[in-house]
Every structure is written in C-alpha cells, then in structure tokens.
Amino acid sequence: MKKFLFIFGIPFIVIIGYYILDTILYDGVKARSINEDGFAAEYFALDTVKNKPAIVLIGGGYSGEYWGSQFAKLGYVGLSLPYTGGENLPKLTEEIPLEYFESALKWLKSQPEVNPNKIIVMGASRNAEATLVIASTLTDLVSGAIAYAPSSVSWSNTVLPYNSDEVKPSWTFHNQPIPFIPMDKLKGGDSENLDLLAYWDAGLNKSEYLETASIKVENINGPVLLLSGKNDKVWPSAAMANNIEQRLKVNSFNFSVQNIQYENAGHLISRNPENDTDTEDREGSMKLEGKEYFFEFGGTQAGDNLAKKDAKTRVFAFLESL
C-alpha cells in the first residue's frame, strides 16, 4: 500500500548516498546474500558469534535489513527473508507455500552461529499475519514470534488490490490452503477517502469463517510479543492483538505473552525507530479501479515516534529473556 521511490540522477549523488546508507544501515555488520535451498535472503551475523538466538524478518526489504543489522550488532543473528517480488519469487501475495519459509528455517537452524532451539520470527502488518501463521505451523523450527500490528486471522489474497481477482488463500502448506476469511476486493466510493477499518471489521464479522480462519497461535512453541497502536486506522491491529491474547488464554498457552498497545499511535509504529521524521506522512494512497484513494495511518507523529522507541526496547528485552 505504501511506495517509496528514490531517484538519484547524478552518479556522484548515487555514490555518496550509497555510503551514507551503508554506514547508517549496517554500522559494521555486513549482510551475506543467501540464495540456496530454494530461498533468497540476507544473513546478518558477526564472525565471532556462535550458538546465538536468530530472528527471521518475514518480508525482508529495508525494514528487514535494518532489523537484521540491529540484531547482529547485539550479538544475535538476523535473516531478512523476502517471499515476493524478487528474482524467482512469486509476484503476488497469494498461495505462498509455507515450505518456502520451512527451507529457510532449516538452513538457518544448521548454521554454527545459530542456536537451533532459539529461532524467532518477526513481521509487521500482513507480514505479522504470515509470522504468526508460520510460528503456529512450523512449530519444530520456530521458538517464538514478534508481531507488529498483527492479524488474528488469515485473510484471502483479495484483500490486496494488486492481487488477482479470484479468491485464493494467501498461504498454503502441503498443497492445502491455510483457512482464511474470503474477502471481496476493496472498492472506492464517491469520497476520495477510504474507511479501511470498516472493510476489515466486515470481514471479522463473518462468523461462519472466523473460527477456522483464526490463526492457531496456541500452537506456537515459544513466547509471543504483540505490538500495536490503539489508533491504527489501516486495520484494527489492537483489537486483533486482544483476540490473539484471548485465544492464548483460553487455550492455556504455556509461554509468556506480551500484548503492548500504544496511545496516540497508528500503523506506522514498525518503521525505523531511529528516525523521528519517517512518520511525518500521515496518509497513504492506493489505486482502485484506476482511481486514486487516500487513507489514514492513524496516530500522531509524536505518538508513533514514542511507540517506535519503546517497542524497540521491548523487542530487545524479549530477546534477552529467551
């Protein structure tokens, strides 16, 4: 839903920009590109590290590389793992096989830098949905989950406007769909502003699908950290985090659960915690049927920035407690 386009027309600026980004992002921890066993990822680990917890950043991208570097600097291992859009990866977020993540996790488990019993998956928004699905399914490979702005259910592919129009599962395992709530494609109206919360609430009210589509978080084989903004206007992440917590309680979950929710914060709390300016854009846009519509991320800039910084400390504390 969000695009960030950076154009550098002058080679000198390109070079300077690269070195600035390289310094800020990696800060002494270089990524190693992995392209084997059917997956592609960026691997972050110091040469001196042995048998340490590893965190898999589901979805990869800039956020995955930022967090991978941060974790490596603290003596952990990071794996930034995209699953769409790259070379030899699906173009659309639909019918993504969990076997792809399984291959990456098995590879990671065999690395000497990694403690095979302490592998955590982490993601935000739809990647948080994937994170919880992975953790609740691949229980012999995953030891816990961190989910920013999470979903309590699995959704159909059609919740993303650029996916195909035919209703399909977003995730599959052993060639079988992960149960989901089927959704019509989002449509615009007379107003140029979208009410995204109404769209998701309508899906969550489909009681005939809700139980089967609810992510079986009680199967997760380790602690869970949920982070959300109470004023999220992209989707009801705080309410869905409460649903997750309630499901874990009902099923007598054996591990710790933290459901952290922030006042005056919205959907942007997962952005770079070191950057106080990257939440200035309070509005996003998307094209529906050839027309551009706008939506709010929710929260305030100050609220998001406070939440991002506090959430980062909680993520590190979560890892220290493993």
* Number of domains the chain is built from: 1
Q: What is the pLDDT of residue 38?
A: 93
Q: Is 249 helix (H, G, I), strand (E, B) or coil?
A: helix
Residue 1 belongs to some domain of the structure: no
Q: Which residues lie closer than 8 Å to 157 by C-beta, 6 or more apart?
A: 92, 93, 94, 95, 163, 164, 167, 168, 169, 170
In a domain, 147, yes or no: yes
Q: What band does 125 get if pLDDT is binned at 50, 70 and 90?
A: very high
Residues 6+ apart with CB under 8 A from 315: 122, 146, 225, 227
The pLDDT of 71-92, averaged and rounded, is 96
In a domain, 3, yes or no: no
221, 275 Cβ separation under 8 angstroms: no
pLDDT in tens, 173-228: 999 999 999 999 999 989 999 999 999 999 999 999 999 999 999 999 999 999 99
DSSP sequence for 182-244:
--PPP---SSSB--HHHHHHHHHT-HHHHHHHB--GGG-SS-EEEEEETT--SS-HHHHHHHH
Q: What is the pLDDT of residues 97-106, one digit of tens each?
A: 999 999 999 9
CA distance 165 to 69: 37
Confidence at residue 201, expressed as pLDDT on a 0 to 100 scale = 98
In the predicted model, is pLDDT for residue 230 greater than 50? yes
Q: Side-chain half-sphere of 154: how many Cα atoms within 13 Å?
A: 27
Q: Read off the pLDDT of residues 260-305 as tens digits, 9 standing for 90 and up.
A: 999 999 999 988 888 878 777 899 999 999 999 999 999 999 999 9
- Using the Cα atoms of residue 171, residue 175, residue 178 and residue 180 in order, give the sign of their dihedral: positive
Euclidean distance between CA atoms 127 and 142, whole angstroms: 16
Cα–Cα distance measured from residue 261 to residue 279, given in angstroms and rounded to the nearest whole number: 18
Query: Which domain, by its residues, includes 280?
Result: 11-320
Does 106 fall in a domain?
yes
* Chain centroid to CA 116: 22
The pLDDT of residue 27 is 54
Q: Where is 52: in which H helix or E strand?
A: strand 52-58
Q: What is the pLDDT of residue 2?
A: 38
pLDDT of residue 317: 98
Domain assignment present for residue 97? The answer is yes
Establish if 4 belongs to a structural domain.
Answer: no
pLDDT confidence of residue 24: 41
Summarize the confidence of residues 133-143 as an average pLDDT. Answer: 98
Assigned domain for 2 exists: no
Q: What is the pLDDT of residue 273?
A: 85
Kindly state whether residue 5 falls inside one of the protein's structural domains: no
CATH number, domain at 116? Answer: 3.40.50.1820
pTM (predicted TM-score): 0.91
- Judge whether residue 5 has pLDDT over 90: no
The Cα-based distances of 178 to 120, 124, 154, 160 in angstroms read 21, 19, 7, 17
